[in-house]
Structure 1
């Protein structure tokens, strides 16, 4: 028997694209960077509607909202909750990797005479600096009013 005719997991005979013994899917194609990104997009359930939604939100955001809410045309657009989570994840990853130390440069506290106020302000600034990547998510309700 050839290596291709047996399952790599349980060494049983392969029928069609699945192992008849363990049910593992048989992959005949070579693993590449392109196939990795395709598997990643598939795992996140990102298809062309994700990129179409991004494009349309930049070009015609009013049309997206009208189509989705008024007309009920949801099939051509990406799920809003998944969109929010993925875009927020990308945003947080970029902020943490690119601008991690920028918050320390911005923070410059003028010292007051009251030590308790200084401590409170320092703790508040540290809290905001540590959680700055969550701020866009918290501001979504305010941005939706605009």
Structure 2
């Protein structure tokens, strides 16, 4: 299985950069940024350190359903914190296990205190499927004697 570092390298080649937001910015700003960048979550960064994650799910459950306003609510009031992170040496399989056990859809990758990337469950599932397809192809070639 590939490591997180290898997966991030593939994402980087597709010009995937990490978009972040600050804890004191308003939720509306976070929503606008998520819509503009076509992402479902943003790491919340303060003084260069990740302090939380805000997602569309947080917005729906912690703001909309409670009748609160996205204009006057800071991100820090609805973000998920503390943040569960992984380093770049973890495998895709390990990350999938963490995300399943903790019911996460987004997993920040941090190395030496620096945010390197954000993996979605979709990124991991896509990679797992690609690896399985490759294994099937190799087994079929073996069976055919190629």
Higher helix share goes to which structure?
1
Q: Which has the higher contact order (CA 8 A, sep 6+)?
A: 2
TM-score where L is the length of structure 1 = 0.27
